[in-house]
Structure 1
Amino acid sequence: MEKDLAMDLETLKQQIRQEVERYRSELIDLSLRIHANPELGYEEAKASKWLGDFLAENRFQVETGFCGLPTAFRASYGRGRPVVAMLAEYDALPDVGHGCAHNILGTLHVGAGLAARPVVDQAGGTVVVIGSPAAEKLGSKVTMLNQGAFEGVDVALQAHPRMGAAPVGSRFVAGLNLEVEYWGKAAHAATGPWLGISALDALILAINNVNGLRCQMRDGTRVAYIITDGGKAANLVPEHAAGVFTIRAPDTAILDDVAEKLVNCLNGAAVATGTRLEHRMGLKIQSSRNNTELIRLWTENMRALGRTVAGIQSSSGAGDIGNVSQALPTLLSFISMSPEDLPHHTREWTAIAEGEKAHEALVDGAVGLAMVAADIITQPEVLARIKEEFQDKGTKP
């Protein structure tokens, strides 16, 4: 049976193409609907419902509110092993909307799940689409991991839209968000400022402390920040100020070191100004691991679709898929939706994410991931190599 399926793999892959073509217009319409209704992380009520409902209408078993996250879902088709998970994301960005093309990213993985059904029907196994919210805020996949959502999953797959050349993999860095609040004392800023304690001064001093730390940071480390509350009126000494710092570092050891120093900067500002500091660490995001066997499969299938691929990309960005890749074999690949290499998280990306090239990326990405799933499900020796490589590399990125 296994031998026959392996020999007939090309027939299965042709069926995958037919499945995606069958749902092409519906997938594009769904992507455009999500694009026209951008929702921030953990607020993706419409997108998660539309994606989950579409899968349910097509014979997937769908669990909403997955892992206690209202806009997360888990949709499964088939039974038994191996279990291949498609990792969908669908949150937007403030102001620019879908400037990271998550309308394509979410719909692409739903399409991949649908396209893998003929493989599961004939060869067994299970395909799962996991809807993970708030990818831009970092952390929902960590929450899912901590709650056992990936137990029993053999391989996780993701193909992210991008501009320009499409790397076969990415070396994501480690990351951490830090929310900060300072509390002081209100007073009139003109008639009695000495009676107050400026929380804003404390936050600005903390920012300056962090900026002074930059020359001590390792190459590849990034710290950015925003002020979310700088006071209510210019003639009032602010009794409250708040901000968010985000750290990116090559690995978790460097991340921990920078985070400790950053907290020292925050504490120093509080002592100097006589304010009270409160800070909250977000979930720690691990650097990503690549799997060369999964990369080989993706490369071969992309080339079969007439697409070119680039080598593994080193990135200064972070994503909670990094934590998934440290827990089980994971493909973090990319598919191009424009020949021009434009910076992401921009309005230019938002415009391209609803265009024809983006729709082509959606279709080819769905086909490509489903083909990788077919390779894994029908060829036990392929899955064995994937797992052997993962085990041999331990926890190294």
Structure 2
Amino acid sequence: MEVDGFILVSREDACQRSISRNSSHDSFLPEIDKSVDGLGPWLLPLNQFIHDNPELAFREHQAHDVLTRFMRSQDGWNVVSSAYGMETAWVAKFDSGKAGPVVSFNVEMDALDGLGHACGHNLIAMASLAAGLATAEMVRRHSLPGKVLVLGTPGEEGVGGGKIRLLEAGAYDGVDISLISHPGILNNSPLVRTTAFARLEVEYFGRAAHAANSPWLGINALDALVIAYNAVSVLRQQTMATDVIGLSITNGGGPTNVIHPFAAGICVLRTASSSRLKELQEKVSACFRAGADATGARVEIKVTRGYADHVPNRVLAALYTKCWNALPNVPDPPIPPTGELTWVKASTDQGNLSYAMPSVNASFAIPPGPQKGQPHSPDFEKASGTKLAFDRALRVGKSLAGAAVQVLAEPGLLDQIKDQWRRDMDALKQPLLE
């Protein structure tokens, strides 16, 4: 077992050796390389359109329309628009007609308020489109078994997460693996760990009274919130190094000569794992209740559905890495050769999928590199719209497709992937090390 600082994650060297003996990526990868290169002239205007027309979470109507129109123009794909009760979700399926693994690729479309595509979701979309189409082409040419799914997943930047809603609605029923990527400036790595995330909204309801004439008749909701705020601040002394607590007061009462009848705040939690998130959420909720108990105010705590930490599948990651390194002109920085995990303190709804099935969320560095701004910055928005970034996304698509095609082509490989996933899920249940 390897202590990764977040959870215990099993590293199975036998799987790595087994994959290294397989050479199917050598036979399929040149074809995938050419297939994706042929898609480039068609995908480039799509990429530019989405980048130049940013849309917020769950309102990606233009992206939905142009992408579904494009997928319908591709032979053999069955496309469903506005899928599973979401206007901007969509599903495209390519079925070989023969029983086999079901591989899926997620297309993100939403942008950031005021910053456009400063998180590069246009590039995520292009990488997944290229991967899905190239995988389907290999299925067609080589009569491979199984199905290929490409899912338009809205609202990754929003509240609730489109992938979570699709998962709960049954969109991933029967899917064996889920593949996606994400651009950045520092790392090329398929072994990306992200944090678990939750948002708590707290409201206190007291009783108004004149603060000079009869304050004893009131119940001060602001006092309750201040007590809770201080309790959370004290709690930070005994949290783990990977815990993050952010707390703000959104309503601090009214006139100073009135005992405040209402106060409210928002708390955001990030932790290394979903199990730790549950523990920390209980502790913070106890702080909120303490404010109510001390003052007599009534408290309401609303918990917004959070994102789980992403647990990457090492077998899938090894497949991706072999393809990435086998393609010409390997870019810097290289993927760590020893299977080192890449820590990202952001959160994503792909994490929830990683708890439901084997997953890879491959990070890729786009030019001009670390001298420019991080994701969610104006500089990154500009970088995500360049031809250099688009070309890097296509390389990612080739590597994702290479991994997926190996799963479809090699009997028994999916069993290795799922065995690794089960070991990782079991490791998550173990107590955290002190």
TM range (shorter): 0.7 to 0.9
Separation of aligned partners in 1, 2:214 and 2:58 = 43
Q: Report deviation, 1:271.
A: 4.7
The correspondence of residues 179-190 of structure 1 with structure 2, limited to 5 A, is: 179-183=201-205
**CA displacement at 1:141 relative to structure 2:** 2.3
* Structure 1 contact 12–118 (Cα < 8 Å) conserved: no
Query: Percent identical across equivalent pairs?
Result: 31
- Assess if the C-alpha contact under 8 Å between 2:25 and 2:402 holds in 1: no
1:26 paired residue among 30, 36, 42: 42
In 2, Cα distance between equivalents of 1:46 and 1:229: 36
Distance 1:188 1:67 in 2: 53
CA contact (8 A) 2:321 2:399 kept: no
Q: CA deviation at 1:195?
A: 9.5
CA contact (8 A) 1:51 1:107 kept: no
Pairwise mapping of residues 186-197 of structure 1 onto structure 2 (< 5 A)?
Answer: none
User: In the aligned structure 1, how far is the partner of 2:191 from the partner of 2:363?
Assistant: 7
Q: Give the corresponding residue for 2:174.
A: 152
**Alpha-carbon distance, 1:222 to partner:** 0.8
1:49 aligns with 2:68: no
The answer for the alignment partner of 2:197 in structure 1 is 175
- In the alignment, the residues of structure 2 paired with residue 237 and residue 20 of structure 1 have an alpha-carbon distance, to the nearest angstrom, of 66
1:299 pairs with one of 302, 309, 321: 321
Q: After the TM superposition, which residues 201-350 of structure 1 pair with which residues of structure 2 at under 5 Å, given as runs?
A: 203=225, 206-226=228-248, 242-272=264-294, 275-305=297-327, 306-307=330-331, 308-310=334-336, 311-338=340-367, 339-340=369-370, 342-350=373-381
Give the CA deviation at 1:357: 2.8
State the secondary structure of the residue aligned to 1:156: strand
**2:324 match: secondary structure:** helix
Which string of whole-angstrom CA distances, capped at 9 and with x for unpartnered residues, describes residues 96-134 of structure 1? 222211121122212211222211213232111122222
Query: What is the CA–CA distance in structure 2 between the aligned matches of 1:45 and 1:320, rounded to whole Å?
Result: 20
The aligned residue for residue 137 of structure 2 is: 118
Provide the rounded CA distance (Å) in 1 between the counterparts of 2:52 and 2:261. 39
Does residue 390 of structure 1 match 2:421?
yes
Q: Which of 21, 29, 52 pairs up with 1:36?
A: 52
| 1:73 Cα deviation from its structure 2 partner | 1.7
Alignment length, in residue pairs? 392
Counterpart-to-counterpart distance in 2, 1:32 and 1:235: 57
Counterpart CA distance in 1 for 2:41 and 2:218 is 62
Q: What corresponds to 1:107 in structure 2?
A: 126
1:311-347 deviations in whole A, cap 9, x for unaligned?
A: 3213333322222112211112111113316432222
1:70 to 67, 87, 102: 87
Displacement of 1:29 after TM fit? 2.1
Indicate conservation of the 8 Å contact 1:337/1:360, yes or no.
no
Name the CA shift for 1:375/1:205 in 2 (closer, same or farther; >3 Å). Answer: same
Residue number in structure 1 paired with 2:165 = 143
Describe the shift of the 1:204–1:334 C-alpha distance in structure 2 as closer, same or farther (beyond 3 A): same
The gaps in structure 1 that reach 5 residues or longer are 1-5
Q: Partner of 2:391 in structure 1?
A: 360
Question: How far has the Cα of 1:45 moved from its partner?
Answer: 2.3
Instruction: Kindly state the Cα deviation for residue 86 of structure 1 after the two structures are TM-superposed.
Output: 0.4
Q: TM-score, normalised by structure 2?
A: 0.79
Q: Is the 8 A contact 1:173 1:316 kept in 2?
A: yes
**Residue ranges of structure 2 left out of the alignment (5+ in a row):** 1-21, 429-434
CA contact (8 A) 1:185 1:196 kept: yes
Q: Quote the offset at 1:242 in angstroms.
A: 4.5
| Contact preservation (8 Å) 1:78, 1:125 | yes
**Counterpart-to-counterpart distance in 1, 2:152 and 2:259:** 44
**What is the CA distance between 1:299 and its match in structure 2?**
0.7
Residue 58 of structure 1: CA displacement? Answer: 1.7
Residues 90/206 of structure 1: CA separation in 2 closer, same or farther (3 Å cut): farther
Q: Is the Cα contact below 8 Å between 1:9 and 1:378 reproduced in 2?
A: no
Counterpart contact for 1:163–1:340, Cα < 8 Å = yes
Distance change >3 Å, CA 238–CA 363, structure 1 → 2: farther
Q: Aligned AA for 2:335?
A: V
Structure 1 counterpart of 2:130, one-letter code: G
Shift of the alpha carbon at 1:227? Answer: 5.1
Q: CA deviation at 1:302?
A: 0.8
User: For the structure 1 residues 53 and 191, does the alpha-carbon distance in structure 2 shift closer, same or farther, using more than 3 Å as the test?
Assistant: farther
In 2, the alpha carbon distance for the partners of 1:284 and 1:157 equals 20
Question: How has the CA–CA distance of structure 1 residues 32 and 268 changed in structure 2, closer, same or farther, with 3 Å as cutoff?
Answer: farther
Q: CA RMSD for the aligned pairs?
A: 3.2
Alpha carbons of structure 1 residues 7 and 286: separation in structure 2 relative to 1, 3 Å: closer
Distance 2:376 2:255 in 1: 31
- Aligned counterpart for 1:134 among listed residues 155, 180, 189: 155
Distance 1:13 1:395, change over 3 A: same
Give the Cα separation in 1 of the matches to 2:41 and 2:402. 20
Separation in 1 of the partners of 2:86 and 2:250? 25
Distance 2:211 2:71 in 1: 58
| Matching residue of 1:3 | none
The alpha carbon displacement at 1:259 in A equals 0.7
Determine the C-alpha separation between the residues in 2 that align with 1:345 and 1:200: 34
Cα offset, 1:187, TM superposition? 9.1
Using a 3 Å threshold, how does the CA distance of structure 1 residues 195 and 300 change in structure 2: closer, same or farther? same
Give yes or no for contact 2:182–2:363 (8 Å, CA) kept in 1.
Answer: yes
